[in-house]
Amino acid sequence: MNVTVCQSCGMPLTSTEQFGTELDGSTTREYCIYCYKNGKFEQPGMTLEGMTEMCTTILREEGMDEESARSMLRNQLPFLKRWRNAGNVKSGEDGTAVLEKTMPGKTSPDEQLSPTDTADPAKNAPFSGEPARYVTLPGKRLAGLSARTTNAVEMSGQGSIGALWGRYFASEHIPSTEAPRYGCYTDYADGIAGEYTILIGHDVGERELLPEGFDEVHLPPATYAVFTSRTGPMVEVVSEVWGAVWAWSHQSDRTFTGDFEYYDERSLDPEHTQVDVYIAVNERR
């Protein structure tokens, strides 16, 4: 199921009862019923900071710790349509507004691409909240450690992803430090709203034997929208990219056949990290 989020508060919209309404009574998937009703915002004077505080309170009541909630919202909300149009997206280092930098061209499905593409001029661009490029990649086999979780559990502070990274790097069966690492998301039960499997791992050959205790994921050949972060502290930039993914206006393009974070030599310093997030989408025509 392809799930979108309210472009005002970021709430996942999983049923028609949650959709906002236009003046003629028709529904819209852009906004939730709590933010938008009868063709207008319920709180037209609401500011971005006000929305952040209101949503932080709601998430706290649902069991999420305040610091994590506020951090997530500050990374996600500015990229939603309501606030993006109001000029809240961060500016570039030179003080000018960061423009959307979408490169809609895609490669041939037969081309054996690597996720690193040094010829891509958007690679070092400021983070815009939109895909830096689209690529088509062959299938992959990844090996590592996995767990079953949900976004809600991870946001509550009771998640398993952080510990999974720690267990992976403590393993004796991982490649050299320079080898790319993946945070791979598969087996989605209900888009961004339900359970999924997270695997922390690396590339392996099709016939390579797995170390004891390791799991595997087979990603099918797919076209991906690639979101490239700015360079900064790992915790900040990864959260920022996923906030933009959840707020992306093309949620209906997502296939949920398998998405992944790609960590290469740009991620060796956790305080100065740049990461790519690959989101599987329908083939662009």
User: 116-158, pLDDT tens digit by residue?
Assistant: 443 343 444 456 678 989 999 999 999 999 999 987 777 766 7
Where are the extended beta strands (E) located within 54-168?
A: 133-137, 140-149
Give the mean pLDDT of the chain: 81
Residue of 213, 221, 224 lying closest to 132 (CA atoms): 224
Q: For residue 169, name the pLDDT band (cuts at 50, 70, 90).
A: very high
Query: Given this model, what pLDDT does residue 165 score?
Result: 92
Query: Given this model, what pLDDT does residue 235 score?
Result: 81
CA geometry: angle 263, 206, 265, nearest 5 deg: 15
Pairing of strands 259-263, 40-41: unpaired
Query: Given this model, what pLDDT does residue 78 score?
Result: 84
Query: Given this model, what pLDDT does residue 152 score?
Result: 73
The Cα 235–Cα 55 span in angstroms is 21
- Name the burial class of residue 193, with classes exposed (0-12), middle (13-18) and buried (19+) by CB atoms within 10 angstroms of its CB: middle
Give me the helices (H) in 130-230, please.
Answer: 151-155, 161-169
Query: Given this model, what pLDDT does residue 116 score?
Result: 43
Beta-carbon contacts of 95 under 8 Å, excluding residues fewer than 6 positions away, are none
Retrieve residue 107's tokens: 């490669």
pTM of the predicted model as reported, rounded to 2 decimal places = 0.68
Q: What is the pLDDT of residues 50-105, one digit of tens each?
A: 999 999 898 888 777 788 788 778 877 887 888 876 655 544 443 322 333 333 33
